Amino acid sequence: MRNPAEPERVRVVLLLDRDALADLDLMIRYRLGPRSRSELVREAISWWRAKNAAWIIRAHAIDERRARLAAEEERAILVARADRDREAAQITLEDARRIAGEHPTRGVV
Protein backbone atom coordinates (compact mmCIF):
# COMPACT_ATOMS: atom_id res chain seq x y z
CA MET A 1 0.00 0.00 0.00
CA ARG A 2 1.25 3.47 -0.92
CA ASN A 3 2.23 5.90 1.81
CA PRO A 4 -0.13 8.91 1.53
CA ALA A 5 2.77 11.25 2.35
CA GLU A 6 4.61 10.20 -0.82
CA PRO A 7 3.66 11.81 -4.10
CA GLU A 8 1.83 9.60 -6.54
CA ARG A 9 4.18 8.00 -9.05
CA VAL A 10 3.57 7.46 -12.72
CA ARG A 11 5.21 4.94 -15.00
CA VAL A 12 7.69 6.40 -17.49
CA VAL A 13 9.57 4.53 -20.17
CA LEU A 14 13.17 5.69 -20.33
CA LEU A 15 15.18 4.83 -23.42
CA LEU A 16 18.94 4.79 -22.87
CA ASP A 17 21.86 3.98 -25.09
CA ARG A 18 23.42 0.62 -24.28
CA ASP A 19 26.59 2.37 -23.10
CA ALA A 20 24.63 4.61 -20.75
CA LEU A 21 22.79 1.60 -19.34
CA ALA A 22 26.09 -0.24 -18.85
CA ASP A 23 27.53 2.81 -17.05
CA LEU A 24 24.43 2.99 -14.89
CA ASP A 25 24.77 -0.68 -13.95
CA LEU A 26 28.47 -0.20 -13.12
CA MET A 27 27.66 2.78 -10.90
CA ILE A 28 24.99 0.76 -9.10
CA ARG A 29 27.29 -2.23 -8.65
CA TYR A 30 30.52 -0.51 -7.59
CA ARG A 31 29.83 3.03 -6.47
CA LEU A 32 26.28 3.57 -5.25
CA GLY A 33 25.49 0.30 -3.61
CA PRO A 34 22.43 -1.86 -4.01
CA ARG A 35 19.79 0.36 -5.58
CA SER A 36 17.26 -0.15 -8.28
CA ARG A 37 17.61 1.63 -11.60
CA SER A 38 14.33 3.36 -10.91
CA GLU A 39 15.59 4.70 -7.60
CA LEU A 40 18.75 5.99 -9.23
CA VAL A 41 16.81 7.70 -12.03
CA ARG A 42 14.43 9.28 -9.47
CA GLU A 43 17.44 10.62 -7.54
CA ALA A 44 18.98 11.99 -10.74
CA ILE A 45 15.75 13.75 -11.68
CA SER A 46 15.40 15.15 -8.15
CA TRP A 47 18.94 16.51 -8.40
CA TRP A 48 18.18 18.04 -11.80
CA ARG A 49 14.97 19.64 -10.47
CA ALA A 50 16.82 21.07 -7.47
CA LYS A 51 19.58 22.43 -9.70
CA ASN A 52 16.99 24.15 -11.92
CA ALA A 53 14.52 25.13 -9.18
CA ALA A 54 14.60 28.87 -9.92
CA TRP A 55 13.88 28.30 -13.61
CA ILE A 56 11.10 25.80 -12.79
CA ILE A 57 9.45 28.30 -10.41
CA ARG A 58 9.57 31.03 -13.08
CA ALA A 59 8.17 28.63 -15.69
CA HIS A 60 5.27 27.70 -13.39
CA ALA A 61 4.56 31.41 -12.81
CA ILE A 62 4.59 32.07 -16.56
CA ASP A 63 2.22 29.15 -17.19
CA GLU A 64 -0.15 30.37 -14.46
CA ARG A 65 -0.05 33.92 -15.86
CA ARG A 66 -0.79 32.67 -19.39
CA ALA A 67 -3.68 30.57 -18.14
CA ARG A 68 -5.06 33.52 -16.15
CA LEU A 69 -4.80 35.84 -19.18
CA ALA A 70 -6.49 33.24 -21.41
CA ALA A 71 -9.33 32.88 -18.89
CA GLU A 72 -9.71 36.68 -18.69
CA GLU A 73 -9.82 36.92 -22.51
CA GLU A 74 -12.43 34.16 -22.64
CA ARG A 75 -14.54 35.96 -20.03
CA ALA A 76 -14.21 39.22 -22.02
CA ILE A 77 -15.39 37.45 -25.16
CA LEU A 78 -18.34 35.92 -23.31
CA VAL A 79 -19.31 39.28 -21.79
CA ALA A 80 -19.06 40.99 -25.19
CA ARG A 81 -21.17 38.21 -26.73
CA ALA A 82 -23.74 38.52 -23.94
CA ASP A 83 -23.85 42.31 -24.44
CA ARG A 84 -24.37 41.85 -28.20
CA ASP A 85 -27.09 39.28 -27.57
CA ARG A 86 -28.79 41.60 -25.06
CA GLU A 87 -28.66 44.52 -27.54
CA ALA A 88 -30.03 42.33 -30.34
CA ALA A 89 -32.85 41.12 -28.10
CA GLN A 90 -33.64 44.72 -27.11
CA ILE A 91 -33.78 45.79 -30.78
CA THR A 92 -35.99 42.82 -31.61
CA LEU A 93 -38.29 43.68 -28.71
CA GLU A 94 -38.49 47.33 -29.77
CA ASP A 95 -39.21 46.29 -33.37
CA ALA A 96 -41.91 43.92 -32.17
CA ARG A 97 -43.50 46.65 -30.03
CA ARG A 98 -43.33 49.12 -32.92
CA ILE A 99 -44.91 46.61 -35.29
CA ALA A 100 -47.58 45.71 -32.74
CA GLY A 101 -48.31 49.41 -32.21
CA GLU A 102 -48.64 50.03 -35.96
CA HIS A 103 -50.63 46.90 -36.74
CA PRO A 104 -54.34 47.65 -37.37
CA THR A 105 -55.53 44.42 -35.72
CA ARG A 106 -53.75 45.04 -32.47
CA GLY A 107 -55.51 43.39 -29.58
CA VAL A 108 -57.64 41.19 -31.84
CA VAL A 109 -57.34 37.50 -31.18
Structure letter (DSSP) for residue 76: H
Asked if residue 98 is part of any domain, the answer here is yes
What confidence tens digit (pLDDT) does each residue in 66-101 have? 999 999 999 888 888 888 888 889 899 888 888 888
Residues 35, 28 contacting (CB under 8 angstroms): yes
Asked if residue 22 is part of any domain, the answer here is yes
Residue 24, pLDDT score:
84
Asked if residue 3 is part of any domain, the answer here is no
> Domain residues for 67?
59-103
Are 43 and 70 found together in one domain? no
The domain tally of the chain equals: 2
Query: Which residue, 51, 70, 85, sits at the end of a domain?
Result: 51
Residues 24, 36 contacting (CB under 8 angstroms): no
Mean pLDDT of the chain: 85
Are 37 and 16 found together in one domain? yes
Asked if residue 1 is part of any domain, the answer here is no
Residue 62, pLDDT score:
96
pLDDT for residue 105 is more than 70: no
- The H or E element spanning position 24 is helix 18-26
Asked if residue 109 is part of any domain, the answer here is no
Asked if residue 108 is part of any domain, the answer here is no
